[in-house]
């Protein structure tokens, strides 16, 4: 028996098995007569079968893009960080203060950077950070538009890892910040 026959037979049997494992779409019926109930409770039977893959549209890009900023402490000791994030062109401060950041924790400052999605102009923020140890960082956080298939955020972070302070930022096709550590949102200002 040739190996191609065995391969074809295997593929045929697998595809036949998988055909029975497909999920029921919301527009399909469970008993042939009645569409399944809408879990949101706002079901409308009018035009419930008109949705098809060929009529679906891509989610439009929002008019305003928002980016968040984080302080990520990958160290095993808590730190006190003084942070300033200022728009490079306007001088407007979007984050300014001193916070305690626990070991293996991140602080989140949500939606601090906003910009018009209709332009492809790069936005920049000056980031300055200082630890209680005297270690400092002064860098520029640049925001650029991403194609819709990559999402819209370009979050940035001051990252403390292996004794070094650095500025990291998400790229269009790579997430670098805001996901690895437990996050404290709207942290209380001040250090003990």
Identify the CATH number of the domain in which residue 75 sits: 2.60.40
Tell me the per-residue pLDDT of 151-180, one tens digit each, with 9 for 90 and over.
Answer: 556 889 999 998 899 999 888 778 888 888
Same domain assignment for residues 28 and 90? no
User: In this predicted structure, what is the pLDDT of residue 63?
Assistant: 66
Domain, as residue range, for 157:
65-185
Residue 190 lies in a domain: no
Q: Is residue 60 part of a domain?
A: no
Which range among 68-72, 101-105, 149-153 shows the weakest confidence by mean pLDDT? 149-153
Give the pLDDT band (50/70/90) at residue 66: confident
Q: What is the mean predicted confidence (pLDDT) over 137-163?
A: 82
In a domain, 191, yes or no: no
**pLDDT confidence bin for 81, thresholds 50/70/90:** very high
In a shared domain, residues 7 and 69: no
Same domain for 107 and 79, yes or no, is yes
pLDDT of residue 27: 41
Residue 111: pLDDT band (50, 70, 90) is: confident
Do residues 125 and 166 share a domain? yes
Same domain for 116 and 173? yes
Q: Are 75 and 142 found together in one domain?
A: yes
- Report if residue 192 sits inside a domain: no
Q: Do 70 and 34 share a structural domain?
A: no
Same domain, 110 and 178: yes
Residues 77 and 154 in one domain: yes
Whether residue 77 lies inside any domain: the answer is yes
- Does residue 161 sit within a domain? yes
Confidence of residue 123 (pLDDT cuts 50, 70, 90): confident
Considering its fold, how many domains does the chain have in total?
2
Q: Are residues 83 and 130 in the same domain?
A: yes
Same domain assignment for residues 164 and 88? yes
pTM to 2 decimal places = 0.64
Q: What is the pLDDT of residues 22-59, one digit of tens each?
A: 443 344 344 444 444 444 444 444 444 444 454 555 55
Same domain, 32 and 76: no
Q: DSSP letters of the chain? A: --HHHHHHHHHHHHHHHHHTTPPPPTTS-SSSSSPPPPTTS----TTTT---GGG--PPPPPSEEEEEEEEEE-SSS-EEEEEEEEETTT--EEEEEEEEE-TTEEEEEEEEEEEETT----EEEEEEEEETTS-EEEEEEEE----GGG-S---EEEEEETTEEEEEE-BTTB--SSSSS-EEESPPBB--
């Amino acid at each position: 028996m040739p190996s191609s026959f065995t391969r074809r037979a295997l593929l045929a049997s697998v595809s036949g098995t998988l055909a029975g494992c497909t999920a029921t779409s919301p527009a399909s019926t469970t008993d042939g007569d009645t569409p399944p109930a809408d879990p949101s409770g706002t079901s409308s039977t009018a035009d419930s079968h008109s949705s098809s893959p060929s009529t679906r549209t891509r989610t439009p890009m929002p008019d305003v893009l928002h980016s968040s900023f984080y302080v990520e402490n990958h160290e095993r000791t808590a730190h006190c960080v003084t942070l300033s994030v200022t728009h490079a062109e306007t001088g407007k401060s979007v984050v300014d203060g001193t916070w305690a950041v626990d070991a293996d924790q991140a602080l989140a400052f949500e939606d601090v950077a906003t910009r018009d999605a209709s332009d492809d102009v790069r936005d920049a923020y000056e980031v300055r950070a200082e630890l209680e140890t005297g270690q400092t960082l002064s860098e520029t956080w640049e925001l650029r538009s991403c194609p819709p298939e990559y999402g819209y955020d370009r979050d940035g972070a001051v990252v403390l890892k292996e004794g070094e302070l650095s500025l990291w930022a998400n790229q269009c096709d790579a997430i670098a910040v805001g996901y690895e550590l437990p996050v404290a949102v709207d942290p209380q200002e001040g250090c003990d």
